Structure 1
């Protein structure tokens, strides 16, 4: 008997055969299977967040030819947050394939930072920043003490949370979201919710879990702003 394409797809990517039978054949809402499927879906959203969010934002800035509405302070905090796991991986001699996606995200954020300065007319400042940042990353990766690296790693999530707060404040002050990519915000929101769900399942009510939940809530606020200010953005583009 031929296997259903839907079954083959679901069993291949989302659930074992036993869960498929429980959920779709027996029509039984099997809680462990539901959690398993939700974790799989959350994992996909997290990966999309890592690989696409900064790239889509970068492409929108390049396409529009300006970075209006993007908070430089927010992006700098993002840059710090994305730098921390890279420094941690380098100092611990992790193989490149284990953190290459973080390096890619970091590189995209560096370019976004430069473009914000460039489109504000501070190209020289942006170039000097790139040189200074590259030198700092080299020094941290080569000579940073273990304690410093540990503090950086533990502070990356708070920095990311703070970056969202600053962007939310900038959106509110401006009355629009400018060149903030709607798709990036959506994927970031989905990824943050996925991280919060996985953290709740694996760590319970820990401080890290509460931080992920706060981050997810702030991402939802950003998404709400993108939707609410949509008409304002259209008027500005016109």
Structure 2
């Protein structure tokens, strides 16, 4: 009996990555060359890997800001635009009941990105603004995730994500160009965001089929790549002095 329970428990965990009928294809029929199941399993594995990575993807950025005692070189407007984009995608995907593996990292990214915005304000001698922002954001997210917000509104927020993502990244890119460097931007964080958005293009096609989500991640990949390229370009550059 104990062995059966262990087996059942193991099967339940395997079903997370190998949903039916792919579980039977791999572990009952031993059909390891099933093309459709390969895409499904790869998408699930990538999706949960992205979520695990998202738990700490922006921690290097947060640590760098705290060590420097400053958010210098990081565009607050860009961070807020990025936060809007992440929040819209996460709440829309939640409302649409997409698989958690298709959007789960958004929950962790909203926490970390909002923390970065808070720190930029707080360390920039605007404590009142920092706490007002924090309280407002928590209230807005609670409403959007509560089920009280109409789906058409969430869809509208998601539909304007593409220009918001472009604006967010271009604001940061312009800030980098004007400063002649990338300030307190973390190369680890930027690279992981680039890699994660690239992988999300595939998982979104596979698990959601939602054009809005797919195009959003394609655009995000392109502009995350731009910021990463700037970090490499300015690697040894000294910031411009006023």
After TM superposition, the score normalised by the length of structure 1 is: 0.69
Q: CA deviation at 1:98?
A: 9.5
Q: Residue 128 of structure 1 corresponds to which residue in structure 2?
A: 132
Which moved further from structure 2: 158-167 or 72-81? 158-167
Q: Residue 116 of structure 2 corresponds to which residue in structure 1?
A: 112
> What is the aligned-residue RMSD (CA, Å)?
4.1
Q: Residue 218 of structure 2 corresponds to which residue in structure 1?
A: 213
Q: CA deviation at 1:97?
A: 10
Q: Are 2:70 and 1:66 equivalent residues in the alignment? A: yes
Number of equivalent positions: 214
Indicate how the Cα distance of structure 1 residues 101 and 186 shifts in structure 2: closer, same or farther if over 3 A, else same: closer
After TM superposition, the score normalised by the length of structure 2 is: 0.68
Deviations 1:57-111 (A, max 9, x none): 2122122221111111111012212222454477679999997643332122221
Q: Distance in 2 between matches of 1:215 and 1:51?
A: 19
- Which structure 1 segments of 5+ residues have no match? 1-11, 23-30
Q: Distance in 1 between matches of 2:184 and 2:204?
A: 31
- Which structure 2 segments of 5+ residues have no match? 1-13, 18-25
Deviations 1:138-174 (A, max 9, x none): 4444542232122223444543343222211211121
More helix by share: 1
> Which one of 161, 166, 172 corresponds to residue 167 of structure 1?
172
Q: Residue 179 of structure 1 corresponds to which residue in structure 2?
A: 184
